[in-house]
Amino acid sequence: MKRIGIIAKPQSSPAAKKILDELLPYLAQKDKEAVLDTDTASIAGLSSPHPKSKVPALVDMVIVLGGDGTLLSVARLVEGKNVPILGVNLGGLGFLTEVTIEELFGTLEKIFKNDFVTDDRLMLKARVHRQGEGVAQSLVLNDVVISKGSLTRMIQLEIFVNRQFVTSLRGDGLIVATPTGSTAYSLSAGGPILYPSVEAMVLTPISPHTLTNRPIVIPNHVHVEVILKTKEEGTTVTFDGQVGFSLRHADTVEIWAADSKIRLIRSPQRNYYEVLRRKLKWGEG
């Protein structure tokens, strides 16, 4: 690995600058070229011609400095590039940004010796169809969420898998999550935890009107279609909780597995079950 991309959360200036002041000289000492996006370069007091969207195509790996939200935004940029991502949490331990600041340089030493393991994470593609025309689309690592507006009492959705009718759902909405996203919004809505390498996605109703509408785990090779039957305005679809789009009556949200996965560099200090225990107090009395 010669060219190392670095993308920091823009709002994390003091913490990011402190680590960049150590990281950039360290990479230079290791004969590595650091490629920073414009925002990260600004935090470091430098200039860069590279917008964030261009960095993954220029490098051999990407270091993300921030939290899980920052990594989610970067994940949408690396589709098809086979560039591994190292997530470094500037605060506490994250589900995706597993490496702490204190562990960063020891982890990099292992990476530069090719002593590291990556987790291949499923991503989903979503497209909104309106009267037969695609009007919005996005790639997601966590989830696609269809939810009611603040003034809408309840929405009605029809759900199909591979053109087969599954159910009519009345409630606050629906979450379609990857295994990675199973520990995010889906979990708080009552969905199951899926191990990251499981080849599946989970459909989790949000506050369903009938208790018989329960979460269901389905294979990742299917196509999911969700049709909005509610005529009131206010329903939205959000992608990874970061990009939103307003839906209209009869809009269809189509969701399927992306052709390629992203590669997250696994922390050598811990495993997935340890992250569950530390983040969720999972299994503790």
Where along the chain do its domains lie? 3-121+261-280, 124-257
Q: Does 55 have pLDDT greater than 70?
A: yes
Q: Would you say 35 and 50 are in contact if contact means Cβ atoms under 8 Å apart? A: yes
Note whether 3-121+261-280 and 124-257 share their fold. Answer: no
Average model confidence (pLDDT) for the chain? Answer: 93
Can you tell me the distance from the alpha carbon of 220 to that of 46, in angstroms, rounded to the nearest whole number? Answer: 43
Q: Does 4 have pLDDT greater than 90?
A: yes
User: Which among 231, 214, 223, 232 is positioned nearest to 253, based on CA atoms?
Assistant: 223
- pTM, two decimal places: 0.93
The pLDDT tens digits of the residues spanning 184-226 come to: 999 999 999 999 999 999 999 999 998 889 999 999 999 999 9
Confirm whether 240 is a catalytic residue: no
User: How confident is residue 275, by pLDDT bands cut at 50, 70 and 90?
Assistant: confident
Return the bridge partners of 243, or none. Answer: 239
Using only the alpha carbons of the chain, give its radius of gyration: 20
134-138 long-range contacts (CB < 8 A, ≥24 apart) are 135/245, 135/251, 136/237, 136/245, 138/76, 138/239, 138/240, 138/243
Q: Architecture of domain 3-121+261-280 in CATH?
A: 3-Layer(aba) Sandwich (3.40)
Backbone phi, psi, residue 90, to 5°: -85, -5
User: How confident is residue 65, by pLDDT bands cut at 50, 70 and 90?
Assistant: very high
User: How confident is residue 162, by pLDDT bands cut at 50, 70 and 90?
Assistant: very high
- Token pair recorded at residue 204: 């989790």
pLDDT given for residue 98 in this prediction: 87
pLDDT given for residue 225 in this prediction: 98
Lowest-pLDDT range of 8-12, 78-82, 252-256: 8-12
Can you tell me the distance from the alpha carbon of 261 to that of 139, in angstroms, rounded to the nearest whole number? Answer: 11
Q: Which residue has the higher pLDDT, 284 or 111?
A: 111
pLDDT given for residue 278 in this prediction: 84
Q: Does 285 have pLDDT greater than 70?
A: no
pLDDT given for residue 153 in this prediction: 80
β-strand pairing of 155-161 with 224-228: antiparallel
Mean pLDDT over 120-137 rounds to 96
pLDDT given for residue 11 in this prediction: 78
pLDDT given for residue 152 in this prediction: 65
User: Which among 265, 279, 261 is positioned nearest to 140, based on CA atoms?
Assistant: 261
Q: Does 254 have pLDDT greater than 70?
A: yes
The one catalytic residue among 37, 68, 172, 240: 68
pLDDT given for residue 256 in this prediction: 98
Q: Does 140 have pLDDT greater than 80?
A: yes
β-strand pairing of 224-228 with 173-177: unpaired
Of the chain, the percentage scoring pLDDT greater than 90 comes to: 80
User: How confident is residue 150, by pLDDT bands cut at 50, 70 and 90?
Assistant: confident
- Integer CA distances (angstroms), 24 to 93, 142, 248, in order: 23, 30, 48
Can you tell me the distance from the alpha carbon of 119 to that of 31, in angstroms, rounded to the nearest whole number? Answer: 27
Q: Architecture of domain 124-257 in CATH?
A: Sandwich (2.60)
